[in-house]
Amino acid sequence: MAKLKTGFFSFTCCEGCIVVFLEILNKKYEEYMEKMKIENFRQLKTNEKIKNLDIAFVEGAISTESEIKKLKEIRKNTKKLIALGSGACNGYPSNQRNKFDMEKKKKIKPLIEKFHQNKTIEPLNKFVKVDDNINGCPVDEKLLMEKIERYLR
C-alpha cells in the first residue's frame, strides 16, 4: 500500500500542537513512518512545495492575507485538511485581540497596520473547508493519536 502523503503547517500560534505531535512520535515514530510520508514539516525539513497531499494537518489561526493565500494553496493541494488545536478550530488564544476593549485596540492599531495583519484573527473554517477538527490547547494528545491511527488504517 502506498504511504499516506502528509503535510504539517503552522500559522499564527505557539506551535504547541506540533510539539504534541512530536512528543507522540517518541513512541510511535516507527509505526507511523511505515504508513505515512511527511512531505511538508517546516520544523523537520526544507520543502516549500505543497503538492498532492492526502492529509494536511494545520495548526494556528489566520491573521494575514498571505496566510489566507497559503491556507487556500494547502486546501487546493490536499484531499483532507485537518484543523489541529484550538487556534485552528476556533481561533483561541491568538484571537484574544478581537475582543480587546477600545483602549487596547487603539494601542495595538499601529502595529496591526504596520505588519499588515487583518482586523480580526479567525479560525481556518472562515476561509476554507475543514474536514475534521481536533480541538484542545494544546491539541488533545489521545484524540490526536486516535484520529491519526484511524487515517492511517
Partner 1 sequence: MHSDKDFDLNLKNISKIEGHTHLDIKVKNGKTEYCKLKISENKRFFTQAVTGLDYKLVPTTMSRICGTCSSAHALCSIEAIEKALKLEVSDQTFQLRKLLANAGHLRDHAMHLYFFVLPDTIGKDSVLDFKGKEKQWIHDGLHVKEAGNFLSTIIGGRAVHPPNVSVGGFTKFPTRQEIEESVKQLEECRDNILKLIDFLYNDKTSFKRKTNYVALINNDYNFLKGYIKTAFGTSIFEEQYEEHLKRVVLPYSTATAFKWESKEYMVGALARVNLNKNNLHTDTIKDTFRYLKKFPSDCVFDNNLAQAIEMLHEVDSSIEILREIQNDIKQEALIIPKIERATGMGVVEAPRGTLYYNLNLNNKGIVTYANLCIPTQQNIIHLEKDIAAYVEQLLQQNKSKQQISFEIEKMIRAYDPCMSCATHFLRINWV
Q: Where are the beta strands (DSSP E) in 60-108?
A: 62-64, 78-84
Instruction: Write out the binding residues for partner 1, residues 36-55 only, by CB under 8 A.
Output: 38, 41-46, 48
- Give the integer Cα–Cα distance in Å for 125 and 96: 18
**13 counts as binding partner 1 under rule CB under 8 A:** yes
**97 counts as binding partner 1 under rule CB under 8 A:** yes
* Residue 118 buriedness (CB in 10 A; 0-12 / 13-18 / 19+): middle
76/116 with CB nearer partner 1: 116
Query: Residue type at 41?
Result: F
Supply angle C-alpha 128, 4, 53, rounded to 5: 35
In the complex, the smallest distance separating the C-beta of residue 126 from partner 1, rounded to whole angstroms, is 16
Residues at the contact surface with partner 1, assessed by CB under 8 A: 10-20, 22-23, 25-27, 29, 33, 38, 41-46, 48, 63-64, 67, 93-94, 96-97, 100, 104, 107-108, 110-112, 114-115, 117, 121, 137-138, 141
